[in-house]
Structure 1
Amino acid sequence: MKVTVVGAGAVGATVADNIARKELCEELVLLDIKEGVAEGKALDMTQTAALLHFDTRIVGSTNDYSKTAGSDVVVVTSGIPRKPGMTREELIGVNANIVRGVCQQILEHSPDAVFVIISNPMDTMTYLALQATGIDKHRIIGMGGALDSARFRCYLSMALGCSPGDLNAMVIGGHGDTTMIPLTRLASWGPAPVSDFIAAEQLQKVAADTMVGGATLTKLLGTSAWYAPGAAGAAVVEAIVRDEKKLIACSVLLEGEYGQEDICMGVPVILGRKGWERIVDLNLNEEEKALFQKSADAVRSMNDVLKTMA
């Protein structure tokens, strides 16, 4: 297996670090436009191999896409990070041209690759990647739902005083502060609904904290987060390369599912070796359907910006 991570910033490097430590591939390529950054970080990670006991071969390169040839999975983190006070929507104008160029150059050297999109605004960049490559929809996956769901489980575990690993909780919809939908009704601690253990008001606070989870970190750090996004990206890669058939919320193209057409949004999908295999219907109630529609309308408004750039 060969995996490429495009963008050696904080998120890309963290994705690569997780992939290397888990030995998800024999060769890992880290690519960046800035001279020496990918090479330096690749060497730094390689120097941890003896300490962390992994054998992944890590190659760093400055904008040489030939080094990515034959990649099975490509993670795209390219673009500028979100700054304090900046919405994901404001990133579109800058990041769209970057992501389009990256995807097209990768495809020239790795025509069979599965793409995992992390660049923000993630749902719109996932939709753009699908348009820019023209490849089968199952090979284009946006990572946002995996990250949002991890944050949901984090805040739930804090409220319940339990291990996040014991919780099942998912976030669907758009990957944005006002568009994501933490599914509180379906969240469970082991076999029991979390509502059996936590008051409704506290559960709603958990959902609210989840929705601003990224913005909270941006305010504290002065830039976007990287540890959780990097780990989430690597978790999606792991499900693909190990053919795990794992159920993860990811942004994928909807063609009638959840009542939506021609849009990429976070929904539960089964991930395997060839990308996402099928979308799982959660049988949402009327309130959740209304929230999903509202989220879809917001994502479409962001996608409309792409039309003005054509």
Structure 2
Amino acid sequence: QSSSVDGFNVKFSGTDNYEDIKNSDVIIVTAGVPRKPGMSRDDLLGINLKIIKQVAEGIKQHAPNAFVICITNPLDVMVMAFQKYSNLPSNKVVGMAGILDSSRFKLFLSLELNVPVKEIEAMVMGGHGDTMVPLPRFTKVSGKPLLELVKEGKLSNDRLEKINQRTRDGGAEIVKFLEKGSAFYAPAASGVEMASAYLNDRKKMLPCAAYLSGEYGIEGIYAGVPVIIGKNGVEKIEEISLDDNEKKEFMNSIDSVKKLWEAASNIDPSLSK
């Protein structure tokens, strides 16, 4: 009903038949059980793994050439499981994580500094969970490095760390307020941003959960990194230069993803093949 207000034309249809997604260009996967207050994303592992397997098999059969964006939590493991189950090319399967996490980081900084959110550039890497890595060193406010504002006393290190932590807890904050569900507006907007980059061949750098084949010294796992998305899906993974502390935090986040993947593989041994 909002289409007449916002001035866009679109047709919606609902279905429970995978045949209706035949030859889709883009598929955004949100299927899964949402978090409840007190739950972490990881608590959803066993339940959502079964759901992702079913979805992957349906997409493999009816839309094997689609660009697939996975939003289901725990994100990094679910997107990796989806790729395994579907056997779709890894460059055509990505996870929505970093865009959402970075947008939360930007929002909290804008509230703290009282500047428009559009004036902030920010990056969050790593797993989409409690160990995600906000990167203040790569953050700019109106073109000025964030850390310079810290040096000038416009933002204390203590406040910055609290913003970093609030970014990590951003999803849980929404779950607490909703009580019976998890975030959906911001994840939806993030997914659409990724779909637009693919459909319009924008070659835009976006932080997403992508398959790593040696980048950042990591092999055979999905994790949040800056990537270029265009008409071929993930066309390039950008390797930014991390300092020692950033590398340590990033690898700690990767280790958390690996441990959760091991847990998923124990639930379904076929994933380890």
Classify the TM-score, shorter chain: over 0.9
Q: What is the aligned partner in structure 1 of residue 105 from structure 2?
A: 152
| Deviations 1:78-123 (CA, angstroms, capped at 9, x unpaired) | 0100111111111110001101111210121112101100000000
Residue from 229, 233, 240 that aligns with 1:271: 229
Q: Distance in 2 between matches of 1:51 and 1:125?
A: 36
Matched letter for residue 141 of structure 1: V
Matched letter for residue 238 of structure 2: V
Q: What is the aligned partner in structure 2 of residue 212 from structure 1?
A: 169
Q: What is the aligned partner in structure 2 of residue 192 from structure 1?
A: 144
Provide the identity percentage: 38
Match status 1:286 vs 2:261: no
Q: Helix, strand or coil: the match of 2:102?
A: helix
Q: What is the aligned partner in structure 2 of residue 60 from structure 1?
A: 14
Q: Helix, strand or coil: the match of 1:225?
A: coil
Q: CA deviation at 1:50?
A: 3.3
Q: What is the aligned partner in structure 2 of residue 305 from structure 1?
A: 263
Q: TM-score of the superposition, structure 2-length normalised?
A: 0.93
Q: What is the aligned partner in structure 2 of residue 295 from structure 1?
A: 253
Q: CA deviation at 1:145?
A: 0.8
Q: CA deviation at 1:57?
A: 2.2
Matched letter for residue 3 of structure 2: A
Report if aligned partners of 1:265, 1:296 keep a CA contact under 8 Å in 2: yes
Report if aligned partners of 2:198, 2:229 keep a CA contact under 8 Å in 1: yes
Q: Distance in 1 between matches of 2:89 and 2:46?
A: 25
Q: CA deviation at 1:309?
A: 2.1
Report if aligned partners of 2:70, 2:96 keep a CA contact under 8 Å in 1: yes
Match status 1:82 vs 2:40: no
Q: What is the aligned partner in structure 1 of residue 54 from structure 2?
A: 101
Matched letter for residue 76 of structure 2: D
Report if aligned partners of 2:119, 2:143 keep a CA contact under 8 Å in 1: no
What are the within-5 Å matches in structure 2 for residues 168-183 of structure 1? 168-177=121-130, 179-183=131-135
Report if aligned partners of 2:60, 2:88 keep a CA contact under 8 Å in 1: no
More strand per residue: 1 or 2?
Answer: 1
Q: Helix, strand or coil: the match of 1:58?
A: coil
Report if aligned partners of 1:145, 1:172 keep a CA contact under 8 Å in 2: yes
Matched letter for residue 55 of structure 1: N
Q: Distance in 2 between matches of 1:56 and 1:153?
A: 30
Report if aligned partners of 1:253, 1:262 keep a CA contact under 8 Å in 2: yes
Q: Distance in 2 between matches of 1:192 and 1:84?
A: 38
Report if aligned partners of 1:195, 1:203 keep a CA contact under 8 Å in 2: no
Q: What is the aligned partner in structure 2 of residue 262 from structure 1?
A: 220
Match status 1:253 vs 2:211: yes
Q: Distance in 1 between matches of 2:168 and 2:4?
A: 39
Matched letter for residue 267 of structure 1: V
